[in-house]
């Protein structure tokens, strides 16, 4: 958990399944996919964005509910159906003119490793395979879909000295 690295983060990209959700795939008999998102995570993402950190979603699956969730949170950098997450993060960093060492990626499986290894701060969750956790500089205490994203958002804001300002309106 390098605070020095966290201070420099200007962009964080998230996988969806197993990071913003608990990793379960809910399918109806008609084939419709459902995902359960955590509202605490959502507010953490909004505060982090307001604090000046760019947000992105890079996921291998394609789902309309991810598009809706991103819109609700104000996340405009959304990449779905991505098979090469390293290429996607490289493209995004180039578009935003952000150096890899100033970016973070939060993933939970081996398909996320190329993106995690390309950025300055790799983050994962307790349920991730050991190989993924071994490549992460930060593994959350909270489980995916149960506040792990909020934990990361608050940790980054705390490291960057912006958390108190984001919480101030609620403490006045």
Residue 147 pLDDT greater than 60, yes or no: yes
22 labeled part of a ligand binding site: no
Q: What is the pLDDT of residue 31?
A: 86
- Average pLDDT value for the chain: 96
- Residue 55: strand, helix, or coil: strand
The CATH homologous superfamily of the domain defined by 3-167: HAD superfamily/HAD-like (3.40.50.1000)
Q: What is the pLDDT of residue 27?
A: 87
Domain ranges of the chain: 3-167
pTM here is 0.96
Q: What is the pLDDT of residue 2?
A: 76
Mean pLDDT of 87-110: 98
164 labeled part of a ligand binding site: no
Closest C-alpha among 75, 107, 103, 115 to residue 11: 103
Q: What is the pLDDT of residues 28-59, one digit of tens each?
A: 899 888 899 999 999 999 999 999 999 999 99
Mean pLDDT of 54-72: 96
Cα(78)–Cα(149) distance, integer angstroms? 17
Q: What is the pLDDT of residue 1?
A: 54
Q: What is the pLDDT of residue 57?
A: 98
Residue 26 pLDDT greater than 90, yes or no: no
Q: What is the pLDDT of residue 126?
A: 98
Which residue, chain included where needed, has tokens 């190989």?
131
């Amino acid at each position: 958990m390098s605070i020095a690295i966290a201070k420099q983060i200007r962009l964080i990209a998230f996988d969806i399944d197993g990071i913003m959700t608990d990793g379960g795939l809910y399918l109806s008999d008609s084939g419709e996919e459902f995902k359960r998102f955590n509202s605490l995570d959502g507010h953490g993402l909004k505060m982090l964005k307001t604090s000046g950190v760019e947000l992105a979603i890079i996921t291998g699956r394609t789902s309309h509910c991810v598009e809706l969730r991103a819109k609700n949170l104000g996340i405009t950098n959304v990449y779905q159906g991505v098979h090469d997450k390293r290429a996607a993060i490289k493209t995004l960093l180039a578009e935003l003119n952000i150096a890899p060492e100033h970016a973070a990626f939060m993933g939970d499986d081996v398909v996320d490793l190329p993106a995690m290894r390309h950025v300055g701060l790799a983050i994962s969750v307790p349920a991730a395979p050991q190989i993924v956790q071994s490549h992460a500089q930060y593994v959350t205490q909270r489980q995916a879909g149960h506040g792990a994203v909020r934990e990361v958002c608050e940790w980054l804001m705390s490291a960057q000295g912006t958390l108190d300002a984001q919480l101030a309106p609620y403490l006045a």
